[in-house]
Amino acid sequence: MTARKGKLYVVGVGPGNHDHMTHRAKTVIEESEIIVGYDTYVSLVEDLIEGKEVYRYAMTQEVERANQAIDFAEDGKVVALVSSGDPGIYGMIGLIYEILSEKGWNRDTGIYVECVPGVSSLNSCAALVGSPLMTDFAVVSMSDLLVPWDIIVKRVEAAAAGDYVTVIYNPASKKRIHQLKDTRDIFLKYRKPETPVAIVKGAYRESQTIAITTLENMLQHSEILGMITTVIVGNSSTFDYNGMMINPRGYRSKYDLVKKDGGQESPTYAGMQQ
């Protein structure tokens, strides 16, 4: 009798609100016999995993939970390794593939592995604050646990010099205080102090808190800066309109955006930096 081939789903559950979880994510969680994940992320899908075998881990135990999930799949089980957001953006799928590559995993004959994408913080936070990601943007993480700080500084400098709208993950923690200040100082070399900045804590969760501020004043919101906070720094074209962060796509240079009925002039973008 041929041994049952195991499956490993690395599942992005989005921000945690089930309305923003994909149908595929719900389907594979339902199919899975075993659930593995960081305790906080497992709690986000508590109502979907009743009766299943569940293994919860503390923060910083990524290698342990990845190996356990792989071991279960290699034993013929159907496993869901849950992540918040998207597992392909600062998530667990990269570590899974790193471990499998070291084990000599064969995609055709080995365990079945599927990355189930989810809504990442850059998507959910942008949706809450307007339309900040309409042009080219960069994403950087302030966490220097795995990436040396001098490398992060080079990436921040490149994003700032390139006039990219920049999404900042993991902006601060109890141990990381100077990183965001250093990052803001780099951006101030290239952008005006009044450049719009959005700070979103716990998007679509009960703890959700939003602040629309400026590059100059962003550090004044330290009470909402933390590991579940995302910061979006505008570029030279981004403007604040009624508390929304708007990044023009460029249509205005080619089209009349408002019909000029009765001789009415097309309005200008108030606050837009020329």
* Active-site residue set: 39, 52
Query: Is-contact 85 118, C-beta < 8 A?
Result: yes
Question: What three-state secondary structure class fits 63?
Answer: helix
- Closest among 73, 120, 63, 119 to 96, alpha carbons compared: 63
- Judging by beta carbons within 10 Å of its beta carbon (0-12, 13-18, 19+), is residue 250 exposed, middle or buried? exposed
What gap in Å lies between CA 267 and CA 261, rounded to an integer? 13
Angle between helices 62-74 and 93-103 (to 10 degrees): 60
137, β-bridge pairs: 165
CB neighbour burial string for 176-185, b if at least 16 within 10 angstroms, e if fewer: beebbeebbe
Cα Rg of the chain (Å, integer): 22
